[in-house]
Structures are given as C-alpha cells and as structure tokens.
Amino acid sequence: MSEPLTPSWERTVQESVGRVIEFWGFKRNQGRVWAMLYLAEGPQGAPAIGRRLGLSKGAVSMVLRELETWSVIRRVPAESRSGVAYVAEQDLWLMISTVLRQREQRLVGQVLADLQAAEGLAAADPTLTPERRKALVGRIRTLSRLARAASVALAALLRTRLLDLSAWHGILTGAR
C-alpha cells in the first residue's frame, strides 16, 4: 500500500519548522520529522516517516535517535504487534524548556568558564600596558556579567515561564 501524497500545507509546515530548527543549529530533517509527527493523527513507524519525507532508512533512524535524545519525540508500541512507532511531544513549552535546559544552559556555563580564563590571561599578559590591561579586564568582566545575567534569566524562564530582562539594561548600556 502506498503512502498518501503529503498535502501542500503539511509540506509547508514541515519545511518551515525545518528551517527554524536549522537556524537554531539543529538539522533541518529533525524539524521536518518532528513537524510530521506533531501533525500526524497517530503514532508513525520509521518506514512511514521515511516514505512520507523521502528520507533513507539510515537518515530516519539517525534523526529519530537524535530527537529522542532531546525528548521531543518518544517511542510507543506500534499498532502491529511488532515494532515501535513514534509520537511528537505535544507540550511545546516542555519541549522548548528541555532543549534550553540541556543545550543553552550548558553553553552559558562554558562561556562563563572561558571568560574567566580569558580574564586571568589578560590580567597576566606582560605585553599589555597597565592601562590597556585594566580596560580589557573590565570589558571581559562586563561580558562575564552579561553571561551570568543570561544564565539567571534562562534559569528563571525555565522555572517560572516569565522573562524579565530589566537587569540587563545596566550591563548593556555600560552602567556599573
């Protein structure tokens, strides 16, 4: 039995989500697969996903594994007695917050560590004049303040679903 043709509206959603996901640094096909599952009437098996999106068995397998890692899809028993099928996470906030927690908070932590290391290196750089050293260390500290503010804002957003960026004003305008 052949797969029904994908309606143009569905392809448009899949491609649009794929572009957004790609912009965020993920793979376009991850967005396309998630969108297909999100719009589906029920669980879909890997072969049907591949046929519907024109993806190879290997590509589908890799994308499904990656999407499961991000907790944006999950396995469910297939309607047939053997195999598994997949469904998309329907709670969009849960999906986005999980990705933010796993990815962006890790990035902010790494940025903070890198900036602290850079501050130490700049403070000890014998090629810099004292005035230049002081200015650079001050600028690196400002970037560190911004990264800490981003970390606090992200944690608050994940905890409360509210985002207050008023604390950033002083950092961004150069106030001490």
Residue-wise pLDDT for 113-170, tens only, equals: 999 999 999 999 999 999 999 999 999 999 999 988 888 888 888 888 777 767 766 7
Q: Which helix H or strand E contains 75, and what residues bound it? A: strand 73-77
Q: Which helix H or strand E contains 88, and what residues bound it? A: strand 84-88
Residue-wise pLDDT for 25-78, tens only, equals: 899 999 999 999 999 999 999 999 999 999 999 999 999 999 999 999 999 988
Q: What are phi and psi of 44, to 5 degrees?
A: -125, 135
